[in-house]
Amino acid sequence: MRLATAANAAYTATLAVTELLGCKQCGGGGGGGGGAREELGIRIPRPLGHGPSRFIPEKEILQVGNEDAQMHTLFADSFAALGRLDNITLVMVFHPQYLESFLKTQHYLLQMDGPLPLHYRHYIGIMAAARHQCSYLVNLHVNDFLHVGGDPKWLNGLENAPQKLQNLGELNKVLAHRPWLITKEHIEQLLKAEEHSWSLAELVHAVVLLTHYHSLASFTFGCGISPEIHCDGGHTFRPPSVSNYCICDITNGNHSMEEMHVIPAGSVSITDSFCEVEALMEKMKQLQECRDEEEASQEEMASRFEIEKRESMFVFSSDDEEVAPARDVSRHFEDTSYGYKDFSRHGMHVPTFRVQDYCWEDHGYSLVNRLYPDVGQLIDEKFHIAYNLTYNTMAMHKDVDTSMLRRAIWNYIHCMFGIRYDDYDYGEINQLLDRSFKVYIKTVVCTPEKATKRMYDSFWRQFKHSEKVHVNLLLIEARMQAELLYALRAITRYMT
């Protein structure tokens, strides 16, 4: 995806216009232009918040116009692909290698040759984001849907969309909230409908889009992405107040006034959070020594998985409450009361998904690539970059092997989805991931609309924001892979 020359020119021109219009924060003009516009009676909107994230101070994020050549090319590619430089890109750019892979994959899914027409792709993105009440993504794709010629009537509610898309609603619902319940019957109903049936290739394209946008909703809420200036909740015409008060931190209803004063819960001192880092480093060292000395039996490993799976059911936030979906989002999906439930609750027994029986590398990858050429390769690259990404740092420490920690995070997410790796000792998870971190992980992965700044602040308190964004990349890719595994296994069972 190298549209470099045209993209750079367009992006640079847009930068120049932005600078001409003036300050990002107040919408005032550069070089005296603001007064002239006021005389003409033109109202200039200004961003409601400070920067692309409500959780990360703007000064910590790369400022547009200050990027190096590599970043500039990435921004230009994003601008060429999307027609904008969105806030997700501005936060993901903490990790350029991942961002490049992400943009390439998203561009292919939305705009390159594929089984589904362009307006279907954006509408499916709307359906997927709406399941998590992610108005940020819904608003972006409403604009994109209209831009590629989508029928505005579809936006009045799912019941106004073609029956073929309505039929996708059940798969969207189960995949977003309880993917372990997906069966080959779900697949059969879509492929063998008397009318409005899906082809296998179309269905794989749709499944990849659904999992992509469920996961991107997790990133959006997990990193506190602010609305774009042109979207609802992203701008105001009121002049900035003298006190520079930032209302953005309480606009989505999850953030109370006390959260704006960013001392994490419990007012933990720098010394205490420094000790947390040292304790985590020591645990990693001890676990590595135990690994070298002895290996648990298969029976013990299986037992530890079951223990961790059960314990994950009791991880929930103290401010874990239902978030009522807004009408402008809820109209894009059915059954608004359906949400995440732990897979072993209420006496249900869901068989463990053993990766040794069906895994991405040996099964899912080839199925996707066969039915939707090149996409399997792009997704696989994105998984590997997120999983293996490291700068060998932990907070203030350098030259650290973080592979044990990254694997614990990835496998904990898959454990919450009932997915087990026979060769992993799940006893390590409780050693490496403390309760506040588990609360954050489970919330962002399973019920992202409930994520708050308090949760973001309360884990890994001495770590850099770039490291917390890296955590979010692990969360969204592990989640996407888990959803894909269940959906693709069901498709494989249907085919055989």
Q: Return the amino acid letter for 474.
A: L
How far is residue 458's CA from residue 435's CA, in Å, rounded to a whole number? 10
- Per DSSP bridges, beta strands 353-354 and 419-420 are parallel
Phi, psi of 266 (to 5 degrees): 90, -5
Catalytic residue among 26, 134, 223, 359: 134
The count of other CB atoms within 10 Å of the CB of residue 2 is 10
Whether the Cβ atoms of residue 413 and residue 421 lie closer than 8 Å to each other = no
Chain centroid offset of residue 300 CA: 34
Residue position matching structure tokens 């420094």: 274
290 is catalytic: no
Closest CA to 259 of 57, 466, 459, 452: 452
How far is residue 229's CA from residue 73's CA, in Å, rounded to a whole number? 23
The count of other CB atoms within 10 Å of the CB of residue 282 is 10
Contacts of 360 (CB under 8 A, 6+ apart): 380, 383, 481, 484, 485
- The catalytic site residues sit at 134
